[in-house]
Amino acid sequence: METILQEWVSLFVRWAHIISAIGWIGSSFYFMWLDSSLKKRKGLPMGTKGDSWSVHGGGFYHVVKYEVAPDEMPEALKWFKWESYSTWLTGFTMMFVTYYWSASGLLIDKSVLDLSEGQAIAASMASLAIAWVFYDQLCKSFLRQWPVAVFAVLFVAIVAASWGFQHVFSARAAWLHTGAIIATMMTGNVFFVIIPNSKVLVADLIAGRTPKAEFGEIAKLRSTHNNYLTLPVILMMISNHYPMTYSHPYAWVMVAMALVIGAVVRIFYNRHEAGVHGFAVQWQWPLVAVMAVGMVAFSMWRPDQKVVAVDPVRAMEIVTTRCAVCHSATPSSDMFEEAPAGVMFDTLEQIRAHSGKMIAQAVLANTMPLGNITEITPEERQILGAWLRDGAPAE
């Protein structure tokens, strides 16, 4: 019963999370485009940076951007902030439902670190807070004069964090946490910097003071970080069901690759939208293609996999004792009334039909058995793998 409830909550929260994220990413991409499309023309009001025309849904739009702020407060002002806040809030709820509700299932892998549920949850929450404080201090440090240096340090810090997570959480949770700390930095930027700085501008306007451009500039820098981090984060969030990413013993290398690929794709869009032509918008896609192939090749290099003899008798025994307690038409585990995810291993045909996913979940990754409740050994994973790769022959 609880499992079914958890599944439903998970589905609805996921739905809400994706809806909010679409709103946030959509508005963020729109404003990046808008900024780069601005043109300075004669006849624009004083103190404006430029204007931009667009057509959408059968109507024409004319947008003007101010250098700092207009002379008077407009009557109605739309703040783009709840797109970001709701994405973080629904994301954290998902973290709660998926990883904290039953922490021994997905968050903890006792073969990585023997944590209690409380310790693992505390470590998870602390990592989000620490990541934000570190990043915020980095942006305020003396390095802020060199935005590229800030980016370089941030890149190394994220990769180092993902390496650290691999030594604390299960592989899947480690990968997700890397995405979660980046997403926390991004929402932190909106909540602690971009919106407060914009509020200073508005307060100055109302008080009749000339707002300082500096506040707008700081907000813009954070907003640019968000722009380059968006695509890698999306990959980290959606690849939770693709063990070839997170299950790698050097998953942190793939984190580095994803960060670079995502940023290069954004460079293309930013330049393309600014109307740049020629080589400046031509080098990105070939480079991305090469790096994507590199990522695939890297994922296939698995120094942790051993060659063992095919042993159908032992392999069947492993499936029966380690997997079929849950994955059966009649599960003997009291956690489940039905086979989880509809996946059953009662017959050879069923096993063969799922062999690719079984290898992914239980041989290449330690995601299954759930929380290793049935205590499969590393050696048994290799025996299962050899048998499945051989087509799961009968005894």
Residues interacting with ligand HEC, by CB under 6 A?
241, 322-323, 325-327, 333, 335, 340-341, 343, 354, 357-358, 361-362, 368-370, 373-374, 376
Nearer of residues 234 and 373 to ligand HEC, judged by Cβ:
373
Report, in Å, the least distance between residue 386 CB and ligand HEC. Answer: 14
Both tokens assigned to 300: 């296939």
Integer Cα distance of 236 and 246 in angstroms: 9
Q: Under 8 Å CB-to-CB from 314, ≥6 apart: which residues?
A: 380, 383
Both tokens assigned to 380: 């048994």
Nearer of residues 69 and 364 to ligand HEC, judged by Cβ:
364
Report, in Å, the least distance between residue 322 CB and ligand HEC. Answer: 4
Q: How far is CA 261 from CA 26, 163, 294, in A?
A: 20, 19, 11
Nearer of residues 198 and 355 to ligand HEC, judged by Cβ:
355
Nearer of residues 158 and 339 to ligand HEC, judged by Cβ:
339
Report, in Å, the least distance between residue 327 CB and ligand HEC. Answer: 5
Integer Cα distance of 86 and 96 in angstroms: 15
Report, in Å, the least distance between residue 18 CB and ligand HEC. Answer: 17
Number of C-beta neighbours around residue 25 at 10 A: 18
Question: Using CA atoms in the order 33, 262, 197, 43, what is the torsion angle rounded to 10 degrees?
Answer: -20
Report, in Å, the least distance between residue 371 CB and ligand HEC. Answer: 7
Nearer of residues 251 and 368 to ligand HEC, judged by Cβ:
368
Report, in Å, the least distance between residue 17 CB and ligand HEC. Answer: 16
Give the residue at shortest CB distance from ligand HEC.
323
Q: Please calculate the CA angle 205-194-268 and round it to the nearest 5 degrees.
A: 120
Nearer of residues 357 and 389 to ligand HEC, judged by Cβ:
357
Nearest Cα residue to 315 out of 375, 388, 374, 373: 388
